[in-house]
Structure 1
Amino acid sequence: MPKITRITTQKKSKNRYNIFLDHGQGEAYGFSVDEELLVKFHLRKSMEIDESMIAALIQKDTIHKTYTLAIHYLSYRMRSEKEIRDYLVKKEADDEQIDEVMNRLREEKLVDDQEFANSLVRTRVQTSSKGPLLVKKELIEKGVSASGAEEALQFFPFDKAVEKALKFAEKKAASEKKKSQRQLIQTIQQNLMQKGFQSDVIKEVFEQLPEEEGEDTEWEAIVYQGEKLLKKFERKAEGYELKQKIKTGLYRKGFSFDLIERFIEEKINER
């Protein structure tokens, strides 16, 4: 029966040990184990150890290495079960090892998809511009069930969604003053939908959003857009054709017929 002749600490990993064995033909390297297994199985010099135990120790050590990988991955932030499984697959752990590691992580309360979902929602509310629908999509992509994601969204209440969406809308409105009021509203609405805010949130935002109405504001916008169109088309068209191109362009940008006619009258006909 093989006998342990020497146990040495690995140079690059002080909590791992190399086990040297004598099978009756002199000392040779046998296998390595983590400190936890060394202590648990009371491995020591001169201890006799059969082949079945060696195989069992190697298997347990492999699982322990997989567990250590998972713990390291969890050390940065909470993870969903799917994230951990995907990570371990990339590290070439087999399914049986992964299942055993996941069971241990659950028993030790180190992985819990609902707690993960709750935490991620709270974080996104504080640090992200995403709306509830995008946050829910992110949770599901990370392996959280639809019901679990929905439950976690209790931490993203309606008033908080409105507050976040309104802040974005006000910033967008301030940076898009050269657009027509109609186009600005469409832009903000589209952006909020893309960010994952629900229709009732968007409706509330427009009820609270300060209106930038007034003839002067809209006139400044149409002059800015109209002059851009004029520069674009004046070398390619003139007269009636030029006016029609500018009218069409301004209408597509959301300006009213009356304001467009005023622009044509004051900025084109007077040229």
Structure 2
Amino acid sequence: MQVTNITKLKVKYKIDLENGKHFYVSEDTIIKYGLIKKIDLSKEQLKEIIAHESVESAYSKAVHYLQFGLRTKQDIREYLQKKEIANNVIDEVIEKLIEIGYLNDDHYVEAAVTDYFNLNLKGPYWIQRKLLEKGLDKDVIDENIAKICTEEAMIEMLYKIIEREYKVRRETKNKKVQKITQKLYTNGFTSDIIRKVFDIFFEDYEDENEDEILDEHFRRAYQSYSRRYEGYAFKQKLIEKLIRDGFSYYTAKDYVEKQDL
């Protein structure tokens, strides 16, 4: 099959064949196979050139994708599949990227665990789940989590988070602990480590605002029920509301009984 014409386009070259068909190749493919006008190509040569160009084209797309950040093998596979590239071509591209060091799942795991923990403040279980979803090796994930998310590092991180969250919340101690615990648990920390850090935190922290917060909640409850209830029923409603707000029964009862109602 003879090449009748080679036309340079913006990115690639158009190769016209004597049977009226054509295909596109990169400059590297032109050089590799010595493609020139009027050259004769066998069916096997033509098949090899087209197959090579398919891999090179997919490889270029993958390299471009890698410029925007670290990727996993699964990331590359899914990206190229969306480009409707054949799986056998994708396999070759991934193998080539691994060989030249552009793709390394172990390095990806180490970098991801570091970023998720130190920058995103995520705990081990959140990180593990996230990386398993990317098709990464569980043993490699767990090894890096153990190395990076040490108990000492988690205690230091959680202490700062708890200190910040606790001071800005205008709620009862119980409510604060409950909501902060739920947030940290959702972010992948175990209840044991959360509880341990809260114990350390409360050894250092004196909640000087607890009485002030109790006053605020009482005033809101008073405004809500004073027009609808009186006497014993009024007191019971106030106590019940304070309990729902997170105060203990004895704290709520003692406070209400001290008020001039």
- What is the TM-score when the length of structure 1 is the normalising length? 0.86
Equivalent residues, number: 259
Q: Deviations over 1:47-103 (max 9, x none)?
A: 111334223322322222222211111111111111111111222122222222222
- Segments of structure 1 that go 5 or more residues without pairing to the other structure are none
Task: Determine which of 16, 37, 57 is the counterpart of 1:20.
Answer: 16
Q: Which residue of 2 aligns with 1:10?
A: 9
CA distance 1:52–1:172, change in 2 (3 Å): same
Q: Distance in 2 between matches of 1:85 and 1:130?
A: 27
Alignment CA distance shift 1:238-1:10 (3 Å): farther
- 1:67 corresponds to 2:59: yes
Is 2:221 the partner of 1:225? no
Instruction: State the SS of the aligned residue for 1:143.
Output: coil
Contact map agreement 1:3 1:22 (CA 8 A) in 2: yes
CA contact (8 A) 2:173 2:246 kept: yes
Q: List aligned pairs for 1:1-271, cutoff 5 A.
A: 2-11=1-10, 13=11, 16-23=12-19, 28=20, 30-153=22-145, 154-176=147-169, 178-210=170-202, 211-213=204-206, 217-267=209-259, 270-271=260-261
State the 1:266 CA deviation: 4.2
Corresponding residue SS for 1:144: coil
In the alignment, the residues of structure 1 paired with residue 113 and residue 160 of structure 2 have an alpha-carbon distance, to the nearest angstrom, of 19
Range with bigger deviation, 255-264 or 82-91: 255-264
Q: 1:199 to 1:264 in 2, by over 3 A?
A: closer
On the 8 A contact 2:221/2:238 being kept in 1, the answer is yes
Superposed CA RMSD = 2.2
1:7–1:18 CA contact under 8 A, matched in 2: yes
Counterpart CA distance in 2 for 1:86 and 1:36 is 26
- How has the CA–CA distance of structure 1 residues 121 and 199 changed in structure 2, closer, same or farther, with 3 Å as cutoff? same
Task: Name the SS for the 2:35 alignment partner.
Answer: coil
Residue 13 of structure 2: SS of its match in structure 1?
strand
Deviates more, 1:188-197 or 1:48-57: 48-57
Taking only the aligned residue pairs, the percentage that are identical comes to: 28
- Kindly indicate whether the alpha-carbon contact (under 8 Å) linking 2:181 and 2:191 is maintained by their aligned counterparts in 1: no
Contact 1:114–1:152 (CA under 8 A) maintained in structure 2: no
| SS of the residue 1:165 aligns to | helix
How far off is 1:195 after superposition? 1.5
